[in-house]
Structure 1
Amino acid sequence: MTLERRRPRVAARILRRAAAASTAAVVLAGLVACTPDSSDGPAEGTKTAAPEVVGDVPGELEDFYTQEVVWESCEGDFLCATVEVPLDYENPGKRSIELSVILAEAGGTPAGTVLVNPGGPGGSGYTTVRDSLEGITTDRLRREFNILGFDPRGVGRSTPVDCLSDEELDEARAEILDPSTDAGLEEARASAAEYADACAEASGELLGFVDTESAARDMDILRAVAGDPKLNYLGFSYGTFLGATYAELFPGKVGRLVLDGGLDPAASNEEITLGQARAFEKAIRAYVQDCQTSSGCPLEGTVDDGVQTIRDLIASVEASPLSASDGRLVTVSTFVSGFILPLYNDANWPALTQALSSALRGDPTTMLMLADLGAERNPDGTYESNSYEVFSAVNCLDYPMEADPVQMAADAAELEEASPTLGRFLAYGGLTCEAWPYEPVNEPRPLTAEGSDPIVVVGTTGDPATPYEWSQSLAGQLDSAVLVTWEAEGHTAYGRGNQCIADAVDDYFIDGTVPEDGLVCS
């Protein structure tokens, strides 16, 4: 008999998708790197880092920095390798874990390598480079640079975090709990404790070492084994936090870093959730306004009327879940997940219109398809990634979370005020980590990366997942950062933005031309 493992409705449901969903949105719409004067990067065969690349590292880490790495042809036209890193940087001889990396070679002689992270936490850089490279980079960058993707510790093809079977993950995604009542709160607490126990049993001590700082330290080992003296890096969403953490740890090894869709390192979990609530509500209104100018829009009347139609639809699904064409029951949790996904990219708004039109007629099949796409669920019920589990594991180490019932109730009221459409689905996020078997190892704080080479932060004014204000804050914290702004809707800019954005980023990577601080692309 399979043990039922449940997870409470928490704030993480939207934040969790802030990176993985952006990659899914690219699909729906259609290491460490060397600096330009360094070597050409990995080629098929066995490679070992040169001493001048390794630099001054602690003796107990030298074997990791100088390990032999075998690059082999894989996935068609790519090169792949496995890199060992220490589980615990405080005790590196205790145990090692594996990172899976994939390289897309430049169109000509490479000027260097750019390491890519799509976000998350839990997003797969391996999958992104293999499947979505054209959606997150330009032809010009790919002609000039090798692009390197990796699955961070705990993710996917690297030594993975594991908590739930595929069937249990289906149940967790569809689960509905109401912590706003005393009985619901106790049920949610029990569910969170059961989930934490399942993660601890399946993942073991790995669960305590998937924090962002450890992942950033891994990137420096990847830098060395790739043969690069400095890191060139393209990070989206959560990937901006990972990149900024690297810069804080290794400012002298920063090459050219682009942080697109900034996450504010100084913001608490509760502040992040509230910021997203406001930003998604703003994005919903922008979508409705656009929908009402298009034919076939089911949202009639004013923008307020259209938004209310969406709220009424969500409430009706909450009261009476709908059945999709394959017989699966679509609860409000799954429905809201599907609704959120197209908001990451305004090119996908027509898909949201189609899903809403069908749902208003009683058919949630398209909305379920969107939810499955965001969760990386295959039609046969298997999942392509473990991003759901990784999100909790990383955030519970990175953020102390509020679990006091009185304060959570007050936060819930603030969230619902900020987003009458989605706020109630974002509340009580602290419950997930309350029962976590490992204490947080990080405190939100400003990151300055004093002494680093110039860093480029890119923010999109209508970004629902990483609000523009966070990019402003991140650029203000980093001593050497400049801010580039894209006046547009959707999550992140580079790879889907206009020529102004493309040129600003490409000129920086290829020529070393730092954009003017405050550059606005519209």
Structure 2
Amino acid sequence: MPVAPLRTAVLAAVLLLAGCTSAGRGTEPGDTTPRSSSSSSDGAGGAGSTGAAATPLQPLPAAVPAELAAYYAQHLDWQACDNGFQCTGFKVPTDYAHPGGGDLMLTAVRRPADGAGGQQRLGSLLLNPGGPGGSAVSYVESVAGGYQPVVRAAYDLVGLDPRGVGRSSPVSCLSGDRMDAFTAVDTTPTDQAATDRLVAADREFAAGCAQRAGTLLGHVSTVEAARDMDVLRALLGEPKLNYVGKSYGTLLGATYAGLFPGKVGRMVLDGAMDPSLDAFAGNRTQAGGFETAWASFAKDCAGRSDCPLGRSEQQAGQELDALLASLQGKPLPAGSGRTLTRAQAVTGVIEALYAEFLWPQLRSALAAAKSGDGGQLLHLSDAYYERSADGNYPNLMFANMAVNCLDLPAPFSSPTEVAAAVPAFQQASPHFGRDMAWMALTCGYWPVKATGTPHTVRAEGAGPIVVVGTVRDPATPYAWARSLAGQLASGQLITYQGDGHTAYGRDNDCVDSAVNHYLVEGRTPAAGLSCPK
């Protein structure tokens, strides 16, 4: 959402069912923030390559290559599973360049169209909540019953766990106790000893992935996941892919469109990432996105009687800085024998910025932390990483790092490079920039060389592709949506003048109506559509 890589989305399920679909921590998966994403950026300032230096993504041949014909000819055996859903599995080549070198088994789930109101079935609609690392299978199982009724009536809702994710040959890296240590390590080192501890944690994470994931670690790229989606499209009997992707799911969808423009059906990319940016620019501008979200939260907080941060946006920022400074090397007790470190406090704040409905929880957590109790902020941090009460972690963050570190070359290769970049990150985000710069070091120790580079996506020949951007989106800044919509030959931008991560399904009639009409009727949104909060 977020390169340390920052994860870019994973709250969707919870948010959608709560009337606030988005992506962030928890369950919508969608992209991430702290320590996990080489996301894109809005191109504002900073070093690193921007869209101007990126080359266009070239489409693949329209005809299925002979060596892949067997994969496209498989039969999907749907079986009843998980509360009335149907599940299936199918094989894809581990390496598309060498299809005979071994296969991966991928898992998909679907909820058949219900045809309510006499609605004619329109086919399959793939949903992806983001991450990278968010399970689309779990997402569909969580949100299908509360999804937009008109869409639910028309489409089979399908979730495919991308390779390396969830139930599709998942990547694994660290045990629960070692992940606890990783999430707690100081991300604002002030001396050599602290820097050494951070580097050791990053190296341990990378080594754990190499040991546990093996050769799979070199084959979990977004390009490969997009090619897997085309195999599923064919096996579903769909001439074109209908798709709704959130956060990182927009990068996956845009990549599909770039590779297979003639096979794009109705596609919605909500909370868009910008594939034209390198990891440095992406991380730096994402830090700016969280700064924008913090300012909105702080302004709202200052006008409330229960705000623990004072009565102005400026005072709120000062109070946050003071709290984080007090945690430098001095963790707070957090209950159950655990403590809250500065890094976990930052993660907890970031988690709550993904959705407005979490703002009251953030006010309460900050008030408790100021009183010496770090439990609530630690709970938010745990939610970001999806840590369970028994100390176990799902595949989310392992896959997140693996995909991000493979998709783009690392922004930094040494602590010296990070230290030099800190001022630029702090300029973009005075409150979170320093942490996010150091979080982005992990990919510098990755055991597999990146296979991707920054690129633009034109998708010439595709039908209209709807891109949705939220003006104060923390994880995928609005400028990314503008950029992606401009790159796409048929891009159509919807702007949501609100807060939080992503917009579709958050009970905004303007956004929901425009997207629903497009998905069900094929009606393209009005040019320049801007939806008020």
State the TM-score, normalizing by the size of structure 2. Answer: 0.87
Give the drift of 1:12.
3.0
Q: 2:452 aligns with which of 415, 439, 442?
A: 442
1:309-365 alpha-carbon deviations (Å, 9 max, x no partner): 112112212241111122211111112111111211112211111211221211121
CA distance in 2, matches of 1:491, 1:417: 22
Question: Structure 1 14/295 Cα, relative in aligned 2: closer, same or farther at 3 Å?
Answer: farther
Partner of 1:392, secondary structure, is helix
Give the drift of 1:276.
1.3
Contact 2:186 2:198 in 1 (8 A): no
What residue number does 1:359 align with?
Answer: 369
Partner of 1:338, secondary structure, is helix
What residue number does 1:12 align with?
Answer: 3
Contact 2:15 2:506 in 1 (8 A): no
CA distance in 2, matches of 1:98, 1:358: 46
1:460 aligned to 2:467? Answer: no
Q: 1:92 aligns with which of 99, 108, 125?
A: 99
Aligned residue identity for 2:9: A
CA distance in 2, matches of 1:25, 1:281: 21
What residue number does 1:297 align with?
Answer: 307
Give the drift of 1:115.
0.3
Give the drift of 1:13.
5.0
Contact 1:322 1:363 in 2 (8 A): yes
Question: Structure 1 187/445 Cα, relative in aligned 2: closer, same or farther at 3 Å?
Answer: same
1:500 aligned to 2:507? Answer: no
CA distance in 1, matches of 2:104, 2:5: 29
CA distance in 1, matches of 2:490, 2:371: 53
CA distance in 2, matches of 1:27, 1:175: 34
Q: 1:155 aligns with which of 165, 176, 182?
A: 165
CA distance in 1, matches of 2:506, 2:414: 41
Unaligned runs of 5+ in 2: 21-61
Give the drift of 1:378.
1.5
> What pairs up with 1:208-219 in 2 under 5 angstroms?
208-219=218-229
What residue number does 1:400 align with?
Answer: 409
CA distance in 2, matches of 1:472, 1:313: 35
1:56 aligned to 2:67? Answer: no
CA distance in 1, matches of 2:187, 2:466: 42
Give the drift of 1:434.
2.3
Question: Structure 1 122/368 Cα, relative in aligned 2: closer, same or farther at 3 Å?
Answer: same
Contact 1:81 1:102 in 2 (8 A): yes
Q: 2:396 aligns with which of 387, 396, 400?
A: 387
CA distance in 1, matches of 2:455, 2:66: 29
CA distance in 2, matches of 1:340, 1:190: 24
Question: Structure 1 461/11 Cα, relative in aligned 2: closer, same or farther at 3 Å?
Answer: closer
Partner of 2:157, secondary structure, is strand
Question: Structure 1 290/464 Cα, relative in aligned 2: closer, same or farther at 3 Å?
Answer: same
Partner of 1:123, secondary structure, is coil
Question: Structure 1 247/157 Cα, relative in aligned 2: closer, same or farther at 3 Å?
Answer: same
Give the drift of 1:129.
0.8
Contact 2:174 2:209 in 1 (8 A): yes
Aligned residue identity for 1:349: W
1:259 aligned to 2:269? Answer: yes
CA distance in 2, matches of 1:357, 1:26: 28
1:377 aligned to 2:387? Answer: yes
Q: 2:129 aligns with which of 111, 118, 122?
A: 118
Partner of 1:131, secondary structure, is helix
1:191 aligned to 2:192? Answer: no
Partner of 2:403, secondary structure, is helix
What residue number does 2:25 align with?
Answer: none
Contact 1:70 1:81 in 2 (8 A): yes
Partner of 1:262, secondary structure, is coil
Q: 1:490 aligns with which of 500, 503, 513?
A: 500
Unaligned runs of 5+ in 1: 1-9, 31-54
Aligned residues: CA RMSD: 2.1
Partner of 1:427, secondary structure, is helix
CA distance in 1, matches of 2:405, 2:430: 27
Partner of 1:420, secondary structure, is coil
Contact 1:403 1:428 in 2 (8 A): no
State the TM-score, normalizing by the size of structure 1. Answer: 0.89
Of 473-482 and 301-310, the range deviating more from structure 2? 301-310
Q: 2:349 aligns with which of 323, 339, 355?
A: 339
Structure 1 vs Structure 2: percent identity of aligned residues?
A: 44
Partner of 2:77, secondary structure, is strand
What residue number does 2:323 align with?
Answer: 313
Partner of 2:441, secondary structure, is helix
Give the drift of 1:56.
3.0
CA distance in 1, matches of 2:295, 2:528: 27
Partner of 1:306, secondary structure, is helix
Of 395-404 and 449-458, the range deviating more from structure 2? 395-404
Give the drift of 1:286.
0.7
CA distance in 2, matches of 1:397, 1:485: 31
What residue number does 1:240 align with?
Answer: 250
CA distance in 2, matches of 1:308, 1:14: 27
Give the drift of 1:177.
5.0
Contact 2:175 2:392 in 1 (8 A): no
CA distance in 2, matches of 1:521, 1:390: 34
Partner of 1:15, secondary structure, is coil
What residue number does 1:326 align with?
Answer: 336
